[in-house]
Amino acid sequence: MGIARVTVIFLTLVEGCWMAFDGIRALTVGDYVTPSGPRAGELGPWHYVVESVGIAPRSTLMKIIFVAFGAGWLLIASGLIRRVPWALTGVLWAAVLTLWYLPVGTAFGLIQIALWVLLRRSMVPAP
């Protein structure tokens, strides 16, 4: 299960670094990283999800949520690397809570949940 563990750590680090960076950038510069060209300034599909629950995607609250999720993912990555007991449960919770972040966060979350199942099964002793 070494590949599964390394994959979970990699996805956790990528997601954490990106969300923290994009949230901090949005707080300091005023906006998230967006595409250029004909789709310049457009946010990803995640903005429909957060709008549907009443949060403005470019609000300070949403930018802080990005930073908090990023920091949380990085904390979980640190725990996974150090093999602390709570880290694997943290991956599951964070992966479920990040499913709103379409499309990348959703894809990463589904992969992390599937790998979590594999990792948990490998940790449970056979009867």
* pLDDT tens-digit series, residues 12-47: 999 999 999 999 999 999 999 998 888 888 999 999
Question: CA 101, CA 46: separation in Å to the nearest integer?
Answer: 5
Band the pLDDT of 59: cuts 50, 70, 90: very high
Band the pLDDT of 121: cuts 50, 70, 90: confident
DSSP 3-state of 11 = helix
pLDDT at 55 over 60: yes
Tokens, residue 6:
């390394």
Evaluate if pTM is beyond 0.85. yes
Q: C-alpha dihedral over 85, 86, 87, 88, to 10 degrees?
A: 80
Average pLDDT, the chain: 93
Q: Whole domain around residue 65: which residue ranges?
A: 2-123
Question: CA 100, CA 122: separation in Å to the nearest integer?
Answer: 28
Number of domains within the chain? 1
Q: C-alpha dihedral over 116, 84, 94, 56, to 10 degrees?
A: -160
